[in-house]
Chains A and B, each alone.
Chain A
Amino acid sequence: MQNTRYIFFSGKGGVGKTTMACATAIHYANEEKKTLIITTDPASNLADVFETEIGHKITPLQKNLWGMEIDPDKATEEYRERILAPMRAVMPENVMSVLEEQFNSPCTTEIASFDRFVDFMVAEKEGRGEKYDVVIFDTAPTGHTVRLLELPVDWSKHIEESAKGSGNTCIGPVASIQENKAKYDEATRLLGDAEKTIFIFVLQPEETPVYETKRSLKELTEIGVKNIELIINGILPKEVCKHPFFQSRYEMQQKYIKIIESDFPVKIRKMFQRDGEIKGVERLFNIEKDLFNNSDEQTYIIGNGELSNIDFNNFIPDSIDNIIQPNGKTKSIFFTGKGGVGKTVISVITAYKLASEGFKTLLLTTDPASHIGQVLEREVTDQINSVEGIDNLWSVIIDQEEATEEYKQRILEESKSKYSQDMLVAIKEELESPCTEEMAAFDKFMTYVDSDDYDFVVFDTAPTGHTLRLLELPFDYSDQVSLMVTTNQQSADAKAVTQKRFDRIIARMEDPKQSVFSFVVYPESTPVIEAYRAMLDLKDAGIQTQFLVANQVLQPEYCTNEFFIRRRKMQEKYLREIKERFQLPVMIMPLLESEIKGITMIQKATDLLFNNKVKSLI
């Protein structure tokens, strides 16, 4: 009997999840265990780490090691073809085209990706496919991951309850999904089996990740996950932190390492930051060694060769003043980029700048793992509140659960007078669907995009993959609207109103004077590639990106030893690449000696980012 083990890597994007997952994969492959590494992250960089094309199929990487990137679009296409192929021969063309269009629904995408993911977990039980000793999932960033993993629980519950009720669920009548129930249950069972499944959280020793990891851990425990480990990554080695600037960052990190060690009663491994990038299998072994020997004698030097010159290039940041000009109406500014690259901080700084110039500004987050409140050191809720101590600034969070509850209540309230008790029970049951959650949060999001009450609305958006889906929703749903069944006047009216609203929002998002899209990136390989891909995706959706913010840029004057000289050199390479690839204005946010928290720090950061005080500091 085969005993496959499942290892999930979780944590915010950009913390080194993929690197840790890959190092773990080569470790087991080297122990002669048949190992498969799968990513469900729409913004995966598995291919970059192994320096080989992988794609949406199981691809051999080396002896005993295979990889696969689950591409949500491809998964949707496969799912769609499985259903549509038998119909093509007999159905008239216009029926087929309507059907195809219908599969662009966001629900379908969610279902299709999820389905592929569960397939790997139940393949063994069902006795099909290749057998692996270890299956490693390099999962999507925190918020999204948790939602993904919550699905098995929600879904099987949903299926059970629907079977008693009207017999309909969002993914079709119960009959057609009943056969899948066993599959979802098996996946859930495996997630809670400590012998078979491990969840490994990768986090950096900083306040926000600690807070987020706690939250995610709680959510996972609630869905029955028992076996959890941590990897603290990106730790600065003491001996390279002699400069007071880095000494301060070093101490900040050590403080959080202690907090993590006392707050999380689980196995914890620690990993030093390296002086170069982890690309290629050789460097992965350097990580693997530390990860599995876990001794205190870790290395952090992977850079090799003499430093040929230590002259730095000074990058003069571009001005974006003309881009964020007020336009007399509400202007939306969206910050997007991989989770963990500092979107929240940049959003707060931007909103702070605009508010302090006298513009009425709303700061809004759609990121389920948002920490706007922590940066502002103020409570931020799902109600718009003015930010105490900062004139002209308001803030709000779109809380998915709250939004869902509100949406459910609204629909039930509207239905109360119109329908029978039986029908109300059915509606209530139907609103338990996972689609409702997505719909509700989106509905809220649109309300703010559609508002006219502010000079500026600054959006701290969700991690890229998720953001894109969210931003593409108006377009998808607008297609859906044209499919609404209009068999009576009341229905036709509802359709017209909805269509109008969607058209207005789309026009607004596509107008570069009304909506400004920008990317926050670290000057490192993966974030740059990832942002570039995301920018192209946005372009396909009719949206032009207008500027970039390079975050956590090392200031040359602090780079006084080889470790940081090498890292600064690496950053310079990517700053150049950002300029060349995007051909857009690039702002520079320097790395600070501590976290950006509280109004004094926000003020300082605003000066650095907007008033080009970077140079005067150097």
Chain B
Amino acid sequence: MNDNTIKTIQIEIFDPPMCCPTGLCGPDIDPALLDINEAILKIKKEFDGKVSIERYLLSQQGQKFMQQPEVMKRLQIHGVEILPLTLVDGKVVKEKEYPSYEEFKSIIGE
């Protein structure tokens, strides 16, 4: 009976090193990056207010990586190949690949 205190689901994506997160300004278009952007846009729209999705770039937000022990632990063991990492409320739910739109939905529990 505490509908008013529904917590926002916090999704964090730790990106692999890349030129830019859009996949549009590299030497060629990277479809994987366009797909993840598309998925995020859809999710944000459908679950407005219930879900927050943040992406972190190693080269720009190294701090975020270092503050997250789950991420650091995996990086130390597997190296950079483990990225991208997707965390939901601080727990790793996917490694090496971005979640698809469907996977995001099942993570959110719809």
Give residues in A with beta carbon < 8 Å to B. Answer: 83-84, 86-87, 90-92, 94-95, 98-99, 102-103, 105, 107, 166, 168-173, 176, 411, 414-415, 418-420, 422-423, 426-427, 430-431, 433, 435-436, 439, 477-478, 480-481, 483-488, 490-491, 494-495, 497-498, 502
Contacts and interface: CB of A to CB of B under 8 A. Distances in A.
A502 B27 contact: yes
Contact of B57 (A172, A436, A497): A172
19 contacts: A87-B66, A91-B66, A92-B75, A92-B76, A98-B17, A102-B19, A172-B59, A176-B60, A176-B61, A415-B34, A419-B38, A426-B41, A480-B19, A480-B27, A483-B16, A483-B19, A484-B30, A487-B97, A488-B35
A92 B79 contact: yes
B31 A491 contact: yes
A84 B62 CA distance: 8
Contact of B84 (A83, A94, A430, A485): A485
Given A91-B65, A95-B80, 6 more contacts: A168-B22, A170-B19, A172-B59, A433-B25, A488-B97, A491-B30
A105 B19 contact: yes
Contact of A102 (B18, B28, B30, B75): B18
Interface in B1-47: 16-35, 37-38, 41-42, 45
Contacts of A420: 38, 41-42
A428 to B, nearest CB: 10
B37 to A, nearest CB: 6
Given A99-B59, A176-B61, A490-B31, A168 B18 contact: no
Question: Which range holds the interface residue count of chain B?
Answer: 35 or more
B58 interface: yes
* Chain A CB within 10 A, most for which of B27, B72, B75: B27
A487 B66 contact: no
* Chain A CB within 10 A, most for which of B17, B18, B19: B19
Contact of B18 (A94, A422, A485, A488): A485
Nearest to B21: A168
Contact of A95 (B45, B60, B61, B75): B75
B94 to A, nearest CB: 10
A484 B26 contact: yes
B17 A86 contact: no
Nearest to A167: B55
A494 B59 contact: no
B96 interface: yes
Interface string B49-83: 00000010111111101100000100110011000
Contacts of B37: 166, 423, 426
A487 B21 CA distance: 14
B12 to A, nearest CB: 13
B45 to A, nearest CB: 7
Contacts of B28: 481, 484, 494-495, 497-498
B21 A488 contact: no
Contacts of B55: 168, 173
Given A173-B60, A480-B19, A498 B97 contact: no
A91 B58 CA distance: 11
B59 A103 contact: yes
Nearest to A434: B25
A87 B62 contact: yes
A94 to B, nearest CB: 4
A477 to B, nearest CB: 4
B59 A102 contact: yes
Contacts of B76: 92
B41 A423 contact: yes
B92 to A, nearest CB: 16
A148 B21 CA distance: 24
Contacts of B22: 166, 168, 170, 426-427, 430
A463 B1 CA distance: 71
* Chain B CB within 10 A, most for which of A92, A487, A497: A487
B20 A168 contact: yes
> Which 8 pairs between the two chains have the least Cβ-Cβ distance?
A172-B60, A491-B32, A94-B79, A498-B28, A435-B25, A477-B27, A487-B97, A423-B38
Nearest to A474: B27
A140 B30 CA distance: 34
A237 B42 CA distance: 71
Nearest to B15: A485
Contacts of B42: 420, 422
Interface string B81-101: 000100000000000111000
Nearest to B77: A92
Given A92-B75, A488-B97, A170 B31 contact: no
Contacts of A498: 27-28
Contacts of A415: 34
B34 A494 contact: no
A485 B33 contact: yes
A92 B21 CA distance: 22
B20 A170 contact: yes
Contacts of A87: 62, 65-66
A86 B30 CA distance: 30
A465 B57 CA distance: 30
Given A90-B66, A166-B37, A488-B97, A480 B26 contact: yes
Contacts of A502: 27
Given A168-B20, A170-B20, A172-B57, A411 B29 contact: yes
Nearest to A486: B32
Nearest to A95: B80
A102 B32 contact: no
B38 A487 contact: no
B31 to A, nearest CB: 5
Contacts of A102: 17-19, 59
A495 B26 CA distance: 11
B62 A487 contact: no
Contacts of A427: 22, 24, 34
A4 to B, nearest CB: 32
Contacts of B65: 87, 91
Nearest to B28: A498
Contacts of B25: 107, 170, 430, 433, 435-436, 439
Contacts of A166: 22, 37, 41
Contacts of B80: 94-95, 98
